[in-house]
Structure 1
Amino acid sequence: MDFKKFTALALLSLASASALSTKPDAGERKFIRKGMGEGEVVLKIGKPDHEAFHRAVRGQPEEKSWTYFPHARDPQTLTIIRFHAGRVAEIERKIAR
C-alpha cells in the first residue's frame, strides 16, 4: 500500500470514528440552553420530531419551535424548543404520561 492510499484510509477511519462519537443523544435534551444555534441543537440531540413556524415574514427574524417526543434516553418528557432568529429563545420540558 502506498503512502497516499494509507493516508486516505487513515483520514477516512478518523472521520468515521469522530462521526460516531458525535451521534445525537436524546439524553442531552436537558442540557440545551438559551442562545444555542439550530445547528448546535441538531448536533447534540438530533432533528426534531415536529417543527412549527410561528412567524416567517420576509425581512423579519424567523420564529419557530421544535418538538421532541419522549424517548428511551429521555423518558416521559416532551421537550419544546422555541427559536428566534436561529437561536434558542426558550426551552420547555413537560412530563408526558
Structure 2
Amino acid sequence: MSIHRNLALVSLVIASSVAVAQDARERSFIRKGMPEGEVIFRIGKPDHEAFIANAKGQPEEKTWTYFPHARDPQTLTIVTLRAGVVAEVERKVSR
C-alpha cells in the first residue's frame, strides 16, 4: 500500500509542477538574478533558444523566447541569460 501511495504522490507532484510551469501568469514573476533552473521550473523550457556569446573561457550569453500563451495570447517573453543567471526580461505585446 505504501508503494502505491508514494507513486500517487510523485505523480501528483509532477502533474502540479507541469501545470504551474505552463501558467502564463508565472512569466511575469521572472526577475533579474534568478538562476536558469528556476526559470525552467516556473515556466518550462523555452520555445526558442539563441546564443549571443558562446566563446571558450567566457560566460555564456543566450536568449530564451517564450511565444504567447493561450492565457496571455498577445505577450511574447524574452529572457536573456548570462552565465546561467537572468540578466534581462523583456515582455512585448505581439499581434
TM-score, normalised with respect to structure 2: 0.91
* Contact 1:29 1:74 (8 Å CA) reproduced: no
Q: Distance in 2 between matches of 1:73 and 1:41?
A: 19
1:18-97 alignment, distance < 5 Å: 18-23=13-18, 24=21, 25-97=23-95
CA-CA distance at 1:27 after TM superposition:
2.4
Paired residue type of 1:96: S
Structure 1 residues 36-80: Cα deviation after superposition (integer angstroms, max 9, x where no partner): 111111111111111000111111110000001111122201110
Moved segments of 4+, more than 2 Å: none
Q: Distance in 2 between matches of 1:37 and 1:19?
A: 21
> What's 2:12 paired with?
17
Tell which structure's C-alpha radius of gyration is larger. 1
Q: Distance in 1 between matches of 2:62 and 2:12?
A: 33
5+ residue gaps, structure 1, are 1-5
> What's 1:3 paired with?
none
TM-score, normalised with respect to structure 1: 0.89
Work out the number of aligned pairs and report it.
Answer: 92
Percent identity over the alignment is 62
5+ residue gaps, structure 2, are none
Q: Distance in 2 between matches of 1:86 and 1:69?
A: 21
